[in-house]
Amino acid sequence: MHDNDKNTHNDVQAMQQRVDNYISQFKEGYFNPLSMLARFTEEIGELAREINHTYGEKPKKSNEEENTIEAELGDLFFVMLSFANSLDIDLAEAFNQSMTKIETRDKDRWTKKEQECGKND
């Protein structure tokens, strides 16, 4: 594991722990996996709505509450952390596995930017 991987792992573990500390104070605990998926889907829909308002042709209603893409991504991330915790999944490890797969499988898939001479040598 590289130093950056260790830092990312520690950061993600800290986020998962913070979510667990919050959820663990309630008797209900984590939702079941099917409910978590429903929550995740709900948050994706809210993100899609904000994207549509910001970049699409659908303006917000005059009485509609202000919201941001950033806020919706944050909500989505919270639900993802909760979902992972409920299934005892280390998200940092899951991310590292995915990046290794993507970096290998897709390394020649797109046109790479040319590096400037002397840069990154």
Per-residue burial over 51-72, b = 16 or more CB atoms within 10 Å of its CB, e = otherwise: eebeeeeeeeeeeeeebeeeeb
- For residue 58, give both structure tokens: 């659908």
Note the pLDDT tens digit of each residue in 9-52: 689 999 999 999 999 999 999 999 999 999 999 999 999 999 99
Residue 120 confidence (pLDDT) above 60: no
Average pLDDT of the residues in 80-87: 97
φ/ψ of residue 109, rounded to 5: -75, -35
Q: What is the value of pTM for the model shown? A: 0.80
Query: For residue 6, what pLDDT band results from cuts at 50, 70 and 90?
Result: low
Residue 119 confidence (pLDDT) above 60: no
Note the pLDDT tens digit of each residue in 89-106: 999 999 999 999 988 988
Average pLDDT of the residues in 71-90: 97
- For residue 24, give both structure tokens: 């663990």
Contact by Cβ (8 Å): 9, 1: yes
- Give the integer Cα–Cα distance in Å for 50 and 70: 9
Note the pLDDT tens digit of each residue in 49-72: 999 999 998 888 888 788 899 999
pLDDT given at position 111: 86
